């Protein structure tokens, strides 16, 4: 048994009966949709038409939402249905980042992830899904793709069908006849036009109380696609034809599907209705990246410096800096839990882990790192208070060797988690592990420089921190400019997200991070002295937050439906 | 800061709890109690059951498009167990009783099936009724959404009486008895004085004749409608042609579908028509749509004509002209059925000297052909394209398709271009002209008339016609007004043409629906002219705000009505029921009045009209009460069950027999299945042999008692059309005589 859907666009009349039948059958609250009909209008009057697309979970054969779910709240059944269990879900919203189709939402009543579950509760007793039964046009066909004589198999075999975004490697099991590229391709239309037919456009960032600083309603956000221009290069070919300037790579003017000038009233490609999706992750995620970097960076600096003999071991310094590192790790955990829609269920990550999820792997890395770091720090603190005998170098060396891989793991696992986010191409960067290590050194050494204002650190330690800081700031700039944003991006979604950071909504964050978070600190280092060093550290940490904020937010603005 | 603090608090509390219960899932404790509110109206609850769903032999509806859809089998409707979709994947079974009813979110009268919890009696959902011949188990978005209306937290639950000034917004809850007595007394006083003082003003009635019968029993000219800002224009266009006033296209079997409407998304009868339009398209029909908007229908059309409003008639006549000039029209059909002889007689006297069609004087069909060619010559594609501002190629393409329709042109206009426009009625008349020219009238795949496909069974008693005329409805200076001039009512009042003693609004919000709302506001607050206003409504609306009583009436799952609609070339009836009442009866509870089963004190109109009518005439002296006597219990007042029992037993051909096959009485059958197919097909009824021995004259008219009773075709007398000539009236003597 292998359930799938076929949507017959040749029959669909865009009446939304499926949307309301689903709402009624599954008591889906207001404001969220398990299935909806996207409307896209194309053409120039009088040659215009409206395309409909029933849009919902694809019940992928290779579902990324299942892989990323830390607690098996999202799972794939033997019969191919991708189902969810609200009683298990912790509300981490990772599945929403993993889904490249905007199929998943957080139920406002339960605070847990939900989506189309193929009416599994009906299918089990032989009833077709509610949307199939209600459809006046038999435009939705549900059935067994493994059975060659099922209606869906026969029809797919005999028709031209398309799926959404096969390039994501998810193997969607929702097929469309007469699929339309402008409807299938989310970036072909504005994510948030000024209005929809018969519906208001919600602010993309919502008002969920987490307060991201700019949640005011707007129709300007979404994917900031440059206004269509054909820019002449001023050059001519041998024949005398005027030549156009090459466009930015991956960010074509007027979107990935250019029909005429596209998107203009006189030649339009516009979305007339779509379900609206709020951005799932806000400031706690970039903040967690920063605190995690500080914690990992401090311990890396202390352990590596100690092992290499770059500075003499100072118990006072270790206890002070370790305290900062542990505080940062506690803050990291606090932010992670705070960002859950069901924070009370956070222990389930440990108690019912789904090991393919990097949320789980990362949680255990963080636990291991915090435990060893905590033991080491507690031991050193106890020694300095005279509660226990001094620990020998052997123990210290062992602890340092153990903590280094854990700290590195804690710093970079997020890269692998982001890599599982199939819906955010920009995050799926092979540079990201390196970048996170560099950022950990940068943030950790910055924290050391700041701490030096309160606690007197040995001079050699301060010097090592200063050098590490300077080097990591430069490295971070290189990784950012020569890597993340210098290299072209493999997909249009990634390119567009990067464009949003460098030229769009997050441009200020990006510039502030680069200038105030990197160049100014380097200048302050050149000035020298502890105060300048501390100021440089503070600026670098703030700059890192601004960068991470842009990096976390921008890809979420690129539409997936 | 406060938010963060509370979030931290929430986390800490959660952590404490989490260690105790790792699985703190939606462990709802379903209660068997109704909500504590005395209205019995509140958050829905559903009861647990030990039973488990099993794979029953589902009811498979095999649709003409090859699809099979599955529903609970009818023999299990009484007691059906299903998993709870919201709590899934937790296996929580729910036990329902399934009661069919009829949707009331437009006039299509599609079937619905209510899922009612057997313990709590809350309604879980509405699905389609697989036994309904019109909707065939399927629905539009408005069908399942009925649940939102029933559980609308802002609905009106109790009778309200105005206590401040009209429109001041001060209301007092009163008992139904008080309201009924007060209203009935005022109606009685008005009726004693005159026969035009009570006005029942209805929008979409959602029933076929129930209330009209009551009004007739009061002996007053009291029915007012919204039709004149709605379908009246199109109705006139059809009526002068064919004697029936609404089209009933057979989309599913057509070769060409021509819509001046957007029936793939709106209108009557959206869901039944949309199913059959796409069925026709799948079978090869061409879809042509006139719509100035880029509607969904326009988007799905093979030929979309975004005609400039007002130009539709020109485009239609250009297509007609194409058929006529190129002899692509069905000459035999026109010869058989159109009153062309009468037309030529009219032209014999040269009423329009400029129309010179070389009349032979003999009155042959060739003369008529020449007349057509002369009359329509000016309607060229070029002219049409210019007026309509559409590409000429599209008009040509549409004309070519229509010329090839082979007697299977399904056309439809309902409101759109024909509403409230000067000459709007001509849109329907010109549209139907194409049906006449192509011989697509009442044929398989053609366009029938409403009366052929809509079945309205007679009730147990029909009060005598009364001798009264309400000048506020149909003022004498508009003799051709097709339906009441209802949108002018406040203007008539303003001019001092009359006053209203008792005014009912129902499914009608005149302040909102008419173009001049402030004029209505003025009338509604004028207690001299609008002496008493009773709004019958489930929810607030602008006009109800200016009522003296606001009386809550049930939604589609909370009332009785009997409906039929001309959705396709067949006939059916659909029974609207108060589903919770039926469920309670099934579960062995006694229910005397529907409001006992409804939320709060929500009534249904059927019972309201019986109550108000009998209270209006307590001693029978007005001759009203006699029309509300039970046909089964002499001397007693009729119940709603008895009203429909009588209809189903006596007025629906075939129903008693089919019910008996199921071992049911007719009323039981309708309560169980909700719908009945009276005729599966009904094509060209006008071609039926005439059961009369009248003589045919030279013109082929069969005359009985000095009136044309039928026509001669192929040597046989046929019943013909319900027009004065029994033919399709290209030339209308009615219009001549009255204008």
Q: Tens digit of pLDDT per residue, chain A (561 long)?
A: 999 999 999 999 999 999 999 999 999 999 999 999 999 998 888 999 999 999 999 999 999 999 999 999 999 999 999 999 999 999 999 999 999 999 999 999 999 999 999 999 999 999 999 999 999 999 999 999 999 999 999 999 999 999 999 999 999 999 999 999 999 999 888 777 778 887 888 777 765 433 333 333 333 344 444 455 566 778 899 999 999 888 888 888 777 887 765 555 556 788 899 998 889 999 999 999 999 999 999 999 999 999 999 999 999 999 999 999 999 999 999 999 999 999 999 999 999 999 999 999 999 999 999 999 999 999 999 999 899 998 888 999 999 999 999 999 999 999 999 999 999 999 999 999 999 999 999 999 999 999 999 999 999 999 999 999 999 999 999 999 998 898 999 999 999 999 999 999 999 999 999 999 999 999 999 998 999 999 999 999 999 999 999 999 999 999 999
Average of per-residue pLDDT across B220-229: 95
Q: What confidence category does residue B30 fall into, taking pLDDT thresholds of 50, 70 and 90?
A: very low
Closest in B71, B88, B141 to A20, CB measured: B141
Same domain, A388 and A506: yes
Tokens of B160: 């309200």
The rounded distance, in Å, linking the Cα atoms of B650 and B673 is 18
Domain boundary among A166, A188, A210: A188
Question: SS3 for A305?
Answer: helix
Tell whether B61 lies on the interface with A, counting CB pairs under 8 A: no
pLDDT of residue A511: 97
Tell whether A72 lies on the interface with B, counting CB pairs under 8 A: no
Same domain, A288 and A184: no
Same domain, A177 and A296: no
Window B:673-712, CB contacts with A under 8 Å: none
- Decide if A121 is inside a domain: yes
pLDDT of residue A151: 93
How many structural domains are present in chain A?
2
pLDDT of residue A212: 36
pLDDT of residue A266: 57
- Strand positions, DSSP E, A250-335: 268-273
Interface test with A, best of B51, B111, B113, B140 (most A CBs within 10 A): B140
pLDDT of residue A223: 45
pLDDT of residue B24: 41
The rounded distance, in Å, linking the Cα atoms of A547 and B248 is 65
Interface test with B, best of A24, A113, A122, A130 (most B CBs within 10 A): A24
Same domain, A475 and A331: yes
Pairing of the two strands A47-56 and A35-44 = antiparallel
Residue A469 φ/ψ region, left for φ over 0, alpha for ψ in the -120 to 50 degree band, beta for the rest: alpha
Say what percent of chain B tops pLDDT 70: 94
pLDDT of residue B35: 43
For B352, residues 6+ apart whose C-beta sits below 8 A from its C-beta are none
User: To the nearest whole angstrom, how far is the Cα of A404 from the nearest Cα of chain B?
Assistant: 30
- Decide if A302 is inside a domain: yes
Domain range spanning residue A54? 3-188
| Cβ-defined contact of B264 to A85 (cutoff 8 Å) | no
CATH of the domain at A400: 1.20.1630.10
Tell whether A310 lies on the interface with B, counting CB pairs under 8 A: no
User: To the nearest whole angstrom, how far is the Cα of A173 from the nearest Cα of chain B?
Assistant: 20
pLDDT of residue B673: 97
Task: Provide DSSP, A109-152.
Answer: TT-SEE---TTHHHHTTTPPPHHHHH-TT--EEEEETT-TTSHH
Decide: residue B20, CB within 10 A, 0-12 exposed, 13-18 middle, 19+ buried: exposed
Q: What confidence category does residue B60 fall into, taking pLDDT thresholds of 50, 70 and 90?
A: confident
The rounded distance, in Å, linking the Cα atoms of B76 and B657 is 22
Tell whether A38 lies on the interface with B, counting CB pairs under 8 A: no
Residue B464 above 50 pLDDT? yes
B70-111 pLDDT per residue, tens: 999 999 999 999 999 999 999 999 999 999 999 999 999 999
- Decide if A414 is inside a domain: yes
The rounded distance, in Å, linking the Cα atoms of B730 and B344 is 11
Tell whether A343 lies on the interface with B, counting CB pairs under 8 A: yes
Q: Averaging pLDDT over each range in A217-226, B266-275, B404-413, which range is the top one?
A: B404-413
Tell whether A144 lies on the interface with B, counting CB pairs under 8 A: no
Q: Phi and psi at residue B495, in whole multiples of 5°? A: -75, -5
Contact in structure between B112 and B142 (CB atoms under 8 Å): no
Same domain, A165 and A303: no
Interface test with A, best of B278, B279, B290, B395 (most A CBs within 10 A): B278
The rounded distance, in Å, linking the Cα atoms of B239 and B209 is 20
Domain boundary among A188, A208, A243: A188
- Sign for the CA dihedral angle at A195, A199, A204, A206 comes to positive
| Cβ-defined contact of A110 to B84 (cutoff 8 Å) | no
Same domain, A306 and A161: no
Q: Can you state the angle between helices B666-673 and B640-650, rounded to 10 degrees?
A: 110
Residues of chain A with C-beta less than 8 angstroms from the C-beta of B90: 87
- Decide if A402 is inside a domain: yes
Contact in structure between A399 and A372 (CB atoms under 8 Å): yes
Tell whether B69 lies on the interface with A, counting CB pairs under 8 A: yes
**Of B54 and B24, which is predicted with more confidence?**
B54
Q: What confidence category does residue B569 fall into, taking pLDDT thresholds of 50, 70 and 90?
A: very high
Q: Nearest residue on chain B to A141, judged by CA atoms? A: B67
Q: Tell me the CA distances in angstroms from A516 to A471, A524, A543, A547, one per residue in order.
A: 16, 11, 6, 11
B325-366 pLDDT per residue, tens: 999 999 999 999 999 999 999 999 999 999 999 999 899 999
The rounded distance, in Å, linking the Cα atoms of A344 and A340 is 9
Tell whether B15 lies on the interface with A, counting CB pairs under 8 A: yes
User: To the nearest whole angstrom, how far is the Cα of B298 from the nearest Cα of chain A?
Assistant: 8
**Quick one: three-class SS letters along B99-129?**
EEEECCCCCCCCEEEEEEECCCCCEEEEEEC
- Decide if A133 is inside a domain: yes
- Domains recognised in chain B with CATH numbers: 28-157+554-685 (no CATH), 160-221+466-551 (3.40.50.740), 232-454 (3.40.228.10), 688-739 (no CATH)
Domain boundary among A140, A167, A188: A188
| Cβ-defined contact of B278 to A344 (cutoff 8 Å) | no
Cα within 13 Å of Cα(A363), Cβ side: 23
- Decide if A394 is inside a domain: yes
Q: Nearest residue on chain A to B73, judged by CA atoms? A: A127
pLDDT of residue A149: 93
Same domain, A178 and A290: no
pLDDT of residue B217: 97
Q: Tell me the CA distances in angstroms from B526 to B165, B185, B224, B546, B567, one per residue in order.
A: 11, 21, 19, 10, 42
**What is the ipTM score, two decimals?**
0.91
- Decide if A390 is inside a domain: yes
Find where tokens 């007197």 sit.
Answer: A456
Tell whether A134 lies on the interface with B, counting CB pairs under 8 A: yes
Same domain, A171 and A22: yes
- Decide if A339 is inside a domain: yes
pLDDT of residue B25: 39
Q: Tell me the CA distances in angstroms from B439 to B323, B409, B727, one per residue in order.
A: 12, 8, 13
Tell whether B138 lies on the interface with A, counting CB pairs under 8 A: yes
| Cβ-defined contact of A24 to B145 (cutoff 8 Å) | yes
pLDDT of residue B419: 85
């Amino acid at each position: 048994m292998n359930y799938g859907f076929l949507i017959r666009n040749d029959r669909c009349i865009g009446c939304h009966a499926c949307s309301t039948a689903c709402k009624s059958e599954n008591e889906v609250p207001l404001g969220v949709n398990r299935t909806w009909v996207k409307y896209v209008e194309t053409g120039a009057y009088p040659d215009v038409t409206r395309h409909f697309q029933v849009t919902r979970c694809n019940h992928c054969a290779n579902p990324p939402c299942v892989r990323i779910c830390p607690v098996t709240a999202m799972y794939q059944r033997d019969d191919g249905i991708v189902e969810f269990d609200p009683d298990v879900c912790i509300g981490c919203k990772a599945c929403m980042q993993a889904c490249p189709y905007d199929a998943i939402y957080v139920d406002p009543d339960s605070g847990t992830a939900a989506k189309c579950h193929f009416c599994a509760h009906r299918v089990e007793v032989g009833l077709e899904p509610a949307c199939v039964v209600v459809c006046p046009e038999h435009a939705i066909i549900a059935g067994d793709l493994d059975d060659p004589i099922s209606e869906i198999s026969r029809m797919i075999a005999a028709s031209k069908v398309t799926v959404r975004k096969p390039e994501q490697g998810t193997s969607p099991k929702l097929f469309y006849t007469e699929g339309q590229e402008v409807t299938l391709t989310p970036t072909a239309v504005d994510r948030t036009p000024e209005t929809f037919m018969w519906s208001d456009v919600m602010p993309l960032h919502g008002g969920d109380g987490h307060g991201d600083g700019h949640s005011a309603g707007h129709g300007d956000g979404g994917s900031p696609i440059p206004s269509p221009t054909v820019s002449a290069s001023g050059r001519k070919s041998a024949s005398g034809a005027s030549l156009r300037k090459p466009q930015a790579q991956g960010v074509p003017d007027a979107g990935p599907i250019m029909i005429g000038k596209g998107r203009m009233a006189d030649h339009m490609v516009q979305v007339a209705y779509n379900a609206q999706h709020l951005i799932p992750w806000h400031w706690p995620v970039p903040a967690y990246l920063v605190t995690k970097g500080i914690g990992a960076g401090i311990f890396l600096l202390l352990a590596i410096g100690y092992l290499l003999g770059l500075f003499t071991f100072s118990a006072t310094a270790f206890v002070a800096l370790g305290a900062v590192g542990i505080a940062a790790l506690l803050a990291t955990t606090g932010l992670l839990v705070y960002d859950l829609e069901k924070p009370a269920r956070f222990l389930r990550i440990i108690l019912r882990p789904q090991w393919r999820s990097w949320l789980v792997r990362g949680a255990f890395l963080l636990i291991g790192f915090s435990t060893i770091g905590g033991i080491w720090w507690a031991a050193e603190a106890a020694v300095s208070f005279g509660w226990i005998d001094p620990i020998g170098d052997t123990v210290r060396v062992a602890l340092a060797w153990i903590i280094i891989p854990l700290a590195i793991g804690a710093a970079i696992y997020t890269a692998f988690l982001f890599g599982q986010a199939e819906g955010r191409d920009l995050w799926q960067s092979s540079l990201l592990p390196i970048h996170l290590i560099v950022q950990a050194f940068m943030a950790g050494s910055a924290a050391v420089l700041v701490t030096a204002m309160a606690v007197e650190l040995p001079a050699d330690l301060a010097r090592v921190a200063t050098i590490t800081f300077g080097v990591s700031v430069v490295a971070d700039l290189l990784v950012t400019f020569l890597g993340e944003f210098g290299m072209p991006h493999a997909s249009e979604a990634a390119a567009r997200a990067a464009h949003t950071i460098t030229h769009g909504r997050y441009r200020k964050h990006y510039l502030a991070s680069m200038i105030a978070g990197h160049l100014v600190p380097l200048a302050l280092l050149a000035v020298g002295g502890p105060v300048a060093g501390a100021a440089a550290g503070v600026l670098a940490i703030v700059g890192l937050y601004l960068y991470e904020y842009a990096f976390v937010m921008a890809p979420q603005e690129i539409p997936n439906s | 800061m406060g938010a963060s603090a509370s979030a931290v608090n929430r986390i800490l509390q959660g952590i404490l709890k989490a260690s105790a219960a790792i699985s703190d899932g939606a462990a709802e404790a379903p209660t068997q109690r109704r909500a504590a509110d005395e209205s019995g109206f509140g958050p829905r609850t559903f009861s647990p059951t030990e039973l488990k769903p099993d794979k029953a032999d589902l009811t498979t509806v095999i649709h003409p498009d090859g699809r099979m859809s599955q529903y609970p089998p009818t023999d299990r409707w009484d007691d059906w167990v299903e998993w709870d979709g919201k709590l899934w994947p937790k296996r929580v079974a729910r036990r329902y009783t399934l009661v069919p009813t009829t949707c009331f979110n437009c006039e299509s009268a599609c079937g619905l099936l209510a899922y009612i919890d057997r313990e709590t009696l809350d309604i879980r959902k509405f699905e389609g009724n697989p036994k309904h011949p019109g909707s065939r188990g399927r629905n539009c978005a408005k069908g399942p959404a009925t649940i939102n209306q029933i559980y609308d937290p802002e609905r009106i639950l109790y009778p309200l009486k105005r206590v401040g000034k009209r429109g001041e917004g001060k209301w007092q809850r009163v008992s139904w008895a008080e309201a009924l007595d007060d209203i009935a007394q005022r109606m009685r006083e008005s009726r004693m004085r005159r026969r035009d003082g009570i006005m029942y003003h209805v929008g979409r009635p959602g029933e076929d004749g129930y209330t009209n019968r009551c009004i007739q029993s009061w002996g007053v000219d009291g029915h007012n409608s919204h039709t004149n800002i709605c379908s009246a224009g199109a109705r006139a266009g059809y009526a002068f042609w064919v004697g029936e006033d609404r089209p009933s296209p057979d989309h599913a079997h057509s070769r060409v579908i021509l819509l001046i409407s957007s029936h793939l998304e709106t209108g009557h009868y959206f869901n039944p028509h949309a199913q059959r339009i796409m069925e026709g398209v799948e079978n090869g029909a061409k879809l042509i749509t006139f719509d100035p908007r880029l509607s969904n229908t326009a988007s799905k059309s093979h030929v979309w004509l975004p005609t400039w409003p007002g130009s539709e008639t020109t485009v239609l006549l250009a297509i007609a002209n194409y058929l006529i000039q190129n002899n692509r029209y069905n000459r035999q059909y026109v010869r058989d059925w159109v009153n062309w002889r009468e037309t030529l007689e009219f032209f014999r006297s040269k009423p329009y000297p400029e129309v010179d069609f070389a009349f032979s004087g003999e009155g042959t069909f060739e003369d008529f052909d020449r007349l057509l060619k002369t009359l329509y010559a000016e309607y060229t594609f070029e002219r049409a394209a210019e007026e309509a501002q559409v590409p000429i190629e599209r008009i040509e393409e549409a004309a070519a398709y229509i010329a090839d329709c082979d007697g299977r042109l399904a056309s439809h206009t309902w409101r759109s271009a024909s509403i409230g426009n000067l000459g709007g009625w001509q849109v329907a008349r010109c549209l139907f002209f194409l049906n006449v020219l192509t011989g697509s009238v009442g044929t398989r795949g053609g366009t029938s008339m409403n009366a052929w496909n809509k079945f309205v069974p007679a009730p147990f008693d029909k009060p005598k016609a009364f001798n009264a005329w309400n000048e506020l409805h149909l003022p004498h200076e508009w003799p051709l007004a097709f339906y009441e001039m209802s949108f002018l009512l406040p203007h008539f009042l303003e001019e001092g043409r009359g006053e209203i003693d008792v005014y009912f609004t129902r499914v009608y919000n005149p302040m909102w629906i008419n173009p001049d709302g402030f004029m209505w506001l003025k009338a509604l607050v004028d207690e001299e002219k609008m002496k008493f206003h009773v709004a019958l409504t489930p929810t607030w609306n602008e006009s109800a705000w200016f009522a003296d009583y606001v009386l809550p009436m049930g939604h589609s799952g909370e009332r009785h009505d009997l409906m039929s609609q001309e959705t396709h070339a067949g006939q059916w009836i659909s029974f609207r029921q108060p589903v919770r009442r039926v469920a309670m009866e099934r579960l062995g509870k006694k229910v005397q009045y529907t409001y006992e089963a409804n939320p709060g004190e929500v009534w249904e109109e059927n019972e309201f009209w019986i109550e108000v009518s009998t209270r209006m005439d307590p001693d029978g002296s007005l001759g009203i009460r006699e029309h509300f006597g039970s046909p089964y219990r002499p001397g007693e007042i009729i119940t709603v069950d008895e009203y429909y029992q009588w209809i189903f037993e006596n007025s629906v051909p075939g129903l008693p027999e089919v019910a008996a096959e199921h071992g049911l009485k007719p009323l039981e059958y309708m309560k169980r299945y909700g719908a009945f197919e009276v005729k599966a097909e009904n094509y060209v009824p006008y071609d039926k042999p005439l059961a009369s021995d009248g003589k045919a004259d030279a013109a082929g008219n069969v005359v009985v008692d000095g009136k044309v009773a039928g026509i001669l075709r192929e040597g046989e007398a046929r019943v013909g059309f319900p027009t004065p000539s029994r033919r399709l009236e290209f030339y209308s003597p009615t219009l001549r005589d009255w204008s």
